Amino acid sequence: MSGHNKWSTIKRKKEKTDAARGRIFTRLIKEISIAARNGGGDEFSNPRLRTAVQAAKGANMPAANIERAIKRGTGELPGVVYEEIVYEGYGPGGAALYIEVLTDNKNRTVAEIRHLLGKHGGSLGENGSVAWMFSKKGSIVLPAAGISEEKLLEATLEAGVDDIQQENDTYTLTCQPGDLESVKRALESQEIAYESAEVTMEPSNTVKLEGKNAESMLKLMDALEEHDDLQNLYSNFDIDDSLIEEIG
């Protein structure tokens, strides 16, 4: 890959230490509901729903919560109607931001997102202003312990894996979105456990941030992550790991 979604790596580390479970559950419930609304409540015929349910189970969400979220999406139970919206903009130092939200009040949400961006040295852009810098990819994360890259490649190559990268104790497998399910099945058939599997947005290039720009960018990303309507957040910034630890 020519780019790297640095924030996805930072976020994974933070989720292991932060008390963020409440926000994670809220986002998963929203995703399950809207996936069921758009594609039906059958996991086997709705890949988006199946991925969302698996993510919820991986986060130890109770089965009853998952079932209720599906029924709210299909209309079997009453619930809030959410709208999917993408905001595009820039952070400190000109790093691109691709922000996906689910909201029941888009006027409130856009005002709040604009405020957060402005507060931390960023700005909201027009539709299409940064989307061209990103491409959709399937991404699967799994522990590196006890498995070689050669074995991973052998298990997933025919299923459609495009790239395997190792960072510290973690592998990240990348594929086309349409191949995500087949790569997951290939791993499962070899009894290779993975931590997460999702469709993500990977940047085609990165913007190096240092000093105050790096510090402001991380504060902005944290502020956006804490917004109740946020579902997914992507950026093309690159910050040295040593600086991230110093700032964090």
pLDDT greater than 70 at residue 130: yes
Is 3 part of a structural domain of the chain?
A: no
Judgement on whether residues 113 and 99 belong to the same structural domain of the protein: yes
Give the span between the Cα atoms of 180 and 160, in whole angstroms. Answer: 8
Q: Establish how many alpha carbons lie within 13 A of residue 188's alpha carbon, considering only the half-sphere containing its beta carbon.
A: 9
Nearest to 62 by CA among 33, 16, 25: 25
Task: Provide the residue count of the chain.
Answer: 248
Judgement on whether residues 171 and 228 belong to the same structural domain of the protein: no
Nearest to 30 by CA among 230, 223, 224: 230
- pLDDT tens digits along 29-66: 999 999 999 999 999 899 899 989 988 888 889 999 99
- pLDDT tens digits along 153-165: 999 999 999 999 8
- pLDDT tens digits along 228-243: 999 999 999 998 877 7
Give the span between the Cα atoms of 31 and 37, in whole angstroms. Answer: 10
Give the span between the Cα atoms of 113 and 189, in whole angstroms. Answer: 42
DSSP β-bridge partners for residue 167 = 170
Give the span between the Cα atoms of 30 and 81, in whole angstroms. Answer: 10
Report the CATH number that the domain containing residue 108 is assigned in CATH. 3.30.70.980
Structural domain for 46, as ranges: 8-74
| Number of domains comprising the chain | 3
pTM, whole model, 2 decimals? Answer: 0.82
CA angle 196/234/174 to nearest 5° reads 45
Alpha helices in 59-210 (DSSP H): 63-74, 106-119, 149-156, 180-189
Judgement on whether residues 101 and 221 belong to the same structural domain of the protein: yes
